[in-house]
A and B are shown apart, each in its own frame.
Chain A
Amino acid sequence: MAQPLVKKDDDRDDEADYSPFLGIEKGAVLQEARVFNDPQLDPRRCSQVITKLLYLLNQGETFTKVEATEVFFAVTKLFQSKDIGLRRMVYVMIKELSPSADEVIIVTSSLMKDMTSKTDMYRANAIRVLCRITDGTLLTQIERYLKQAIVDKNPVVASAALVSGIHLLQTNPEIVKRWSNEVQEAVQSRAALVQFHALALLHQIRQNDRLAVNKLVSSLTKGSVRSPLAQCLLIRYTSQVIRESANNNQAGDRPFYDFLEGCLRHKAEMVIFEAARAITELNGVTSRELTPAITVLQLFLSSSKPVLRFAAVRTLNKVAMTHPMAVTNCNIDMESLISDQNRSIATLAITTLLKTGNESSVDRLMKQITNFMSDIADEFKIVVVEAIRSLCLKFPLKHRSLMNFLSNILREEGGFEYKKAIVDSIVILIRDIPEAKESGLLHLCEFIEDCEFTYLSAQILHFLGIEGPKTSDPSKYIRYIYNRVHLENATVRAGAVSTLAKFGAMVDTLKPRVFVLLRRCLFDNDDEVRDRATLYLNTLGGDGAVVETGEDVKEFLFGSLDIPLVNLENSLKNYEPSEEAFDINSVPKEVKTQPLAEKKAPGKKPTGLGAPPAGPPSTVDAYEKLLSSIPEFANFGKLFKSSAPVELTEAETEYAVNVVKHIFDGHVVFQYNCTNTIPEQLLENVTVIVDASEAEEFAEVASKPLRSLPYDSPGQTFVAFEKPEGVPAIGKFSNMLRFIVKEVDPSTGEAEDDGVEDEYQLEELEVVAADYMLKVGVSNFRNAWETMDADCERVDEYGLGPRESLAEAVNAVINLLGMQPCEGTEVVPNNSRSHTCLLSGVYIGNVKVLVRLQFGLDGPKDVAMKLAVRSEDEAVSDAIHEIVASG
């Protein structure tokens, strides 16, 4: 038997901080490494030096290229020693140094010798080292040995070869794929880990061949897998097969479900858990299928091992999102986990309970959570707060106790993120549960009395200004707001002044009091606060008498800014001080989106072909400037909308062309962005011949050719059409690129004098209804919707037919209408059966349009939709329905 390596005495009362590496220095250790070159090697000493080198690397020390090379060459000398321990350290060291290709050659022969050694340990490790540092060329030389090693009777050697194969598959797939037969043999190995590694490699070799994977799974699920790890792999492969075959056979029993269920009775916990998790993640899992999996997870909940409890509660937490009823059986076990010492487990248990709990258990749960909140970290608290918020939305009747809970924890210690989560939750509850409004607002008022976060105070003041005046007794909030003017920093004071003004504007009886308070603010020592006070005193008018506030004043104070802030910022930057005042109507309202071509460009053209094919002007501003500079288009009036670029050519063609559609009131201009990708050609007199025979309402009025289009510098040509004014005419246009092509001598870059006329067919282009719709968001959809005249509302229902998913249907309608999704409603949560989407936009003729879409799944795939439109003009509301009906 081997002797203990370094065995120290057990008594070590003093020098508790002693470390063998105390005061270690890179330079000194590199000096020490010279012992590797001694003719008479001392294995023990060499081992120690390598350990020191590895220690340095492990501590984050780096070697320079020269140092690394020196160490590497010195280490290679150590292959002379026959000491196994030293050889092991040499292997580790070589892997850590990751030598360059020319250095690898030095050790190749030594390692190849070890690979064919009689000592198993040498063979196994040499394979791992060589495969780690080698490149493809060497691989062909050692392939024969690797194949042998895969079926080696020693499991350590076989595993080493198989694991190396998994790594090599990433870089040299064609070589590793040739080992299929050997790997397949290894899958049958009696050694547990060999089977695991062989299965992993075999699957990766075949992963792109669905049929082969299917066969592999079918044969192995009949039961020849012994290793728990391999069994876990097999479960993962099986669920993948189930996922992929799910589309083909809807009806009947799920294939392989029996196998998964059988694995729930396996003796290894990791397999049981893997199978239970796989079952819960099956697409459209039924409650009958879920039951056995939930049962084993429930047993795990009361395990003595934290890892099992955690794994089970985490999985059940996910199940609770989609199948809350299936998890209710575990509620009792779950409740006992609230006091679990491991806080991660306790938090997961609470959030699961909040999802599965029923109305009657809410109060009891809240009591338990209150005790628990004081001793967990902020990030866990945030999770709990979010769970409570959704619980409250689910059971609005319970708002009192839940709101109380939120306000209690709001008063306790906590960081910004945590406090923000609580405030956000209260705001959402106030908005969605009318009965909770008054108590919620008072809780927020109390909070700002002692709030250390300026951001939150300002947010709450703003919110108070909107909601406070609508309550039964607005006067009670004034005190809280005015206190801020006394006690806070300038930002909060300014916010408080605005809020006061809003109360004054909305509640006429309060106006005199607000006036007095605002006048006091005129002497504030911050100019923003003074400015605001002055502004509001003037806009409110009436000298503090009880009079009604004008509509335009209300609009000014409460109206939402329907201009994207970025655009406003840009316009203000471009504004040059002059006699003419800045006109807010001149700010473009289009939400700037990244042009399609620019996003695609890097992937499409990996070769260094220079600039992407998109035309240089991309923003609305730039488009407008560009078009107004062209005399032919100058009298078209104000640009209504510019579309995103639409590609008219396939990727990698000779000429890349995309088009931007510019919509004016009575005209449409197509801007063709052309790029010449052939270095030997110069194009001249480039035009696009447009056939508008399928676009009856359009008549071509002007075209502007591109004089010359050299290699790789994009240029534009334009074609303009007239159309009936204010009418959203639609049509199809076919395009032909016509030009004179001249040969270019690549060496001199000079073009020949004579050119040949040529044509190039482009793809068709369509002007669709969405082109007449501007994406303009609103900040508060509900307010905007309610202020719009209900008489102009048009509601109808549509069947959208079978769709891939709800999300796909939602996207299709959004794209069809070309409107701006509001409040994040374009995102459809996974597995939901219905969805409401809010859209807003401006239709040609500057008509505001709001759309409320309600989607529902009707049967397995069919999507039904209810469309409600409100706009300032009922004809436009009808037009929107027409778009959907004909789309």
Chain B
Amino acid sequence: MELCPLIKNILLLDSEGKRIAVKYYSDDWPTNSAKEAFEKAVFAKTQKTNARTDGVNHVDLLTKVNADAEITMFDNYVVVYKFVQDLHFFVTGGENENEIILAAVLQGFFDAVGLLLRGTVDKKEALENLDLILLCLDEIVDGGIILETDANVIAGKVASHSMDAGASLSEQTITQALATAREHLTRSLLK
């Protein structure tokens, strides 16, 4: 019996349901076409909902980030999701998974991407920084098991680009996270 919370997949799709970055942690979808079929179904099913936040410019960024995740269930999967601009974020778990845990993972992913893209959260920016998105996915879940849900820590780990191999990671993480958060706040206040 599997008791540990497990994530089945994390998806980042665009406004037409096309892949930007996806990561599957389960054998439920063995082939690429099975995966694509799932993505299509998820996308179609969530289109009519109000997970989209209305804000389009940076002023609304704070409210955007704070908007609540939406949720649905189909094919015996629970899917939590959040849309912003032309980006669609999804996290899928099994039928009996604790919905709030899934939502925490989604929130971590969503906020970390927001921090890494420095507020400009849209498809163009996401594709241009695809390396960051992929690293972000790598830091959130490992083989279905949740690694981290705190967006600041995730973004900190991803953004620790430096030639300096001497500094310890924990130090880097905190200073960096703080700096990023500060910058992010000033930007949204100034605009």
Which single member of A60, A200, A310 contacts B4 (CB below 8 Å)?
Answer: A200
Q: Are B160 and A344 in contact (CB under 8 A)?
A: no
Kindly state the separation between the CA atoms of A200 and B5 in the bound complex, as whole angstroms.
10
User: Which B residue sits closest to A345, measured CB to CB?
Assistant: B71
* A2 within 8 A of partner (CB): yes
* B131 within 8 A of partner (CB): yes
- Given A84-B162, A306-B71: A273 and B170 within 8 A (CB)? no
Q: Are B72 and A344 in contact (CB under 8 A)?
A: yes
Kindly state the separation between the CA atoms of A197 and B159 in the bound complex, as whole angstroms.
24
For residue A121, which residues in chain B have a CB less than 8 angstroms away from its CB? Answer: 157, 160, 169
* A163 within 8 A of partner (CB): yes
Q: Are B21 and A237 in contact (CB under 8 A)?
A: no
Interface string of B37-65 (1 = CB under 8 A from A): 00000000000011000000000000000
Which residues of A79-105 have CB atoms within 8 Å of chain B's CB atoms? 82-85, 88-89, 91-92, 95
For residue A91, which residues in chain B have a CB less than 8 angstroms away from its CB? Answer: 138
- Given A1-B179, A58-B19, A274-B98: A307 and B80 within 8 A (CB)? yes
Q: Are B70 and A163 in contact (CB under 8 A)?
A: no
Q: Contacting chain B: which of A7-15, A322-330, A644-652, A845-853?
A: A7-15
Kindly state the separation between the CA atoms of A77 and B2 in the bound complex, as whole angstroms.
40
Q: Are A6 and B100 in contact (CB under 8 A)?
A: no
* A797 within 8 A of partner (CB): no
* A308 within 8 A of partner (CB): yes
Kindly state the separation between the CA atoms of A16 and B102 in the bound complex, as whole angstroms.
32
For residue B21, which residues in chain A have a CB less than 8 angstroms away from its CB? Answer: 58
* A342 within 8 A of partner (CB): yes
Kindly state the separation between the CA atoms of A60 and B19 in the bound complex, as whole angstroms.
10
Q: Are B98 and A310 in contact (CB under 8 A)?
A: no
Which single member of A20, A236, A305 contacts B3 (CB below 8 Å)?
Answer: A236
User: Which B residue sits closest to A22, measured CB to CB?
Assistant: B127
Q: Are A310 and B71 in contact (CB under 8 A)?
A: yes
* B112 within 8 A of partner (CB): no
Kindly state the separation between the CA atoms of A273 and B78 in the bound complex, as whole angstroms.
16
Which single member of B1, B68, B127, B138 contacts A20 (CB below 8 Å)?
Answer: B127
Which residues of B146-175 have CB atoms within 8 Å of chain A's CB atoms? 146-149, 157-163, 165-166, 168-170, 175
* A611 within 8 A of partner (CB): no
- Given A21-B127, A121-B160, A200-B4: A308 and B165 within 8 A (CB)? no
For residue B74, which residues in chain A have a CB less than 8 angstroms away from its CB? Answer: 379
A243 CB to nearest B CB, Å:
10
For residue B104, which residues in chain A have a CB less than 8 angstroms away from its CB? Answer: 270
For residue A84, which residues in chain B have a CB less than 8 angstroms away from its CB? Answer: 160-163, 165
Kindly state the separation between the CA atoms of A117 and B138 in the bound complex, as whole angstroms.
20
Which residues of A105-122 have CB atoms within 8 Å of chain B's CB atoms? 117-122
* A472 within 8 A of partner (CB): no
- Given A1-B175, A193-B147: A154 and B169 within 8 A (CB)? yes
Which residues of A312-365 have CB atoms within 8 Å of chain B's CB atoms? 314, 341-344
Kindly state the separation between the CA atoms of A233 and B179 in the bound complex, as whole angstroms.
34
B9 CB to nearest A CB, Å:
12
* B32 within 8 A of partner (CB): yes
- Given A163-B143, A193-B147, A344-B73: A232 and B120 within 8 A (CB)? no
For residue A89, which residues in chain B have a CB less than 8 angstroms away from its CB? Answer: 131, 134-135
* A203 within 8 A of partner (CB): yes
- Given A159-B147, A307-B71: A240 and B49 within 8 A (CB)? no
- Given A58-B21, A306-B70: A118 and B100 within 8 A (CB)? no
For residue A117, which residues in chain B have a CB less than 8 angstroms away from its CB? Answer: 165
Q: Are A311 and B98 in contact (CB under 8 A)?
A: yes
Which single member of B73, B131, B169 contacts A51 (CB below 8 Å)?
Answer: B131
Which single member of A154, A197, A269 contacts B145 (CB below 8 Å)?
Answer: A197
- Given A2-B176, A92-B134: A342 and B142 within 8 A (CB)? no
A686 CB to nearest B CB, Å:
46
* A4 within 8 A of partner (CB): yes
Which residues of A19-60 have CB atoms within 8 Å of chain B's CB atoms? 19-21, 47-48, 50-51, 54-55, 58-60
* Chain B binding surface SS class: mixed
For residue B127, which residues in chain A have a CB less than 8 angstroms away from its CB? Answer: 19-21
* B181 within 8 A of partner (CB): no
User: Which B residue sits closest to A157, measured CB to CB?
Assistant: B169
* A775 within 8 A of partner (CB): no
Is the interface on chain A under 10, 10 to 19, 20 to 34, or 35 or more residues? 35 or more
A605 CB to nearest B CB, Å:
27
Kindly state the separation between the CA atoms of A235 and B132 in the bound complex, as whole angstroms.
35
* B28 within 8 A of partner (CB): no
- Given A5-B129, A7-B118, A118-B166: A60 and B143 within 8 A (CB)? no
Interface string of A110-144 (1 = CB under 8 A from B): 00000001111110100010001000000000000
Q: Are A232 and B98 in contact (CB under 8 A)?
A: yes
Q: Are A304 and B68 in contact (CB under 8 A)?
A: yes
* B84 within 8 A of partner (CB): no
* A166 within 8 A of partner (CB): yes
Q: Are A2 and B124 in contact (CB under 8 A)?
A: no
- Given A270-B104, A341-B50: A6 and B169 within 8 A (CB)? no
For residue B98, which residues in chain A have a CB less than 8 angstroms away from its CB? Answer: 232, 270, 273-274, 277, 311
Kindly state the separation between the CA atoms of A159 and B124 in the bound complex, as whole angstroms.
33
Interface string of A267-304 (1 = CB under 8 A from B): 00110011001000000000000000000000000001
* A167 within 8 A of partner (CB): yes
For residue A95, which residues in chain B have a CB less than 8 angstroms away from its CB? Answer: 138
Q: Are A60 and B120 in contact (CB under 8 A)?
A: no
Which single member of A6, A47, A50, A118 contacts B128 (CB below 8 Å)?
Answer: A6
For residue B1, which residues in chain A have a CB less than 8 angstroms away from its CB? Answer: 240
Which single member of A51, A200, A204, A305 contacts B69 (CB below 8 Å)?
Answer: A305
Q: Are A229 and B5 in contact (CB under 8 A)?
A: yes
B117 CB to nearest A CB, Å:
10
A488 CB to nearest B CB, Å:
34
Kindly state the separation between the CA atoms of A159 and B170 in the bound complex, as whole angstroms.
14
User: Which B residue sits closest to A201, measured CB to CB?
Assistant: B4
B113 CB to nearest A CB, Å:
14
For residue B124, which residues in chain A have a CB less than 8 angstroms away from its CB? Answer: 8, 12, 16, 18-19
Which single member of A18, A19, A270, A341 contacts B100 (CB below 8 Å)?
Answer: A270
Which single member of B138, B146, B161 contacts A229 (CB below 8 Å)?
Answer: B146
Which single member of B101, B158, B166 contacts A270 (CB below 8 Å)?
Answer: B101
A655 CB to nearest B CB, Å:
38
* B185 within 8 A of partner (CB): no
Kindly state the separation between the CA atoms of A121 and B158 in the bound complex, as whole angstroms.
10
For residue A232, which residues in chain B have a CB less than 8 angstroms away from its CB? Answer: 5, 98, 101
A86 CB to nearest B CB, Å:
9
| Given pairs A8-B128, A307-B71, 11 additional interface contacts (CB within 8 A) | A4-B118, A8-B120, A119-B168, A156-B170, A229-B101, A232-B101, A237-B3, A274-B98, A310-B73, A311-B98, A342-B72
- A-B contacts, 29 of them at CB < 8 A, read A4-B118, A6-B128, A8-B124, A20-B128, A50-B131, A51-B134, A89-B131, A118-B165, A120-B170, A121-B160, A159-B147, A159-B148, A166-B145, A167-B143, A193-B148, A196-B146, A200-B4, A200-B145, A203-B3, A232-B98, A270-B100, A306-B69, A306-B71, A307-B69, A307-B99, A307-B103, A308-B100, A310-B71, A311-B98
The 3 closest A-B pairs by CB, nearest first: A120-B169, A60-B32, A270-B100
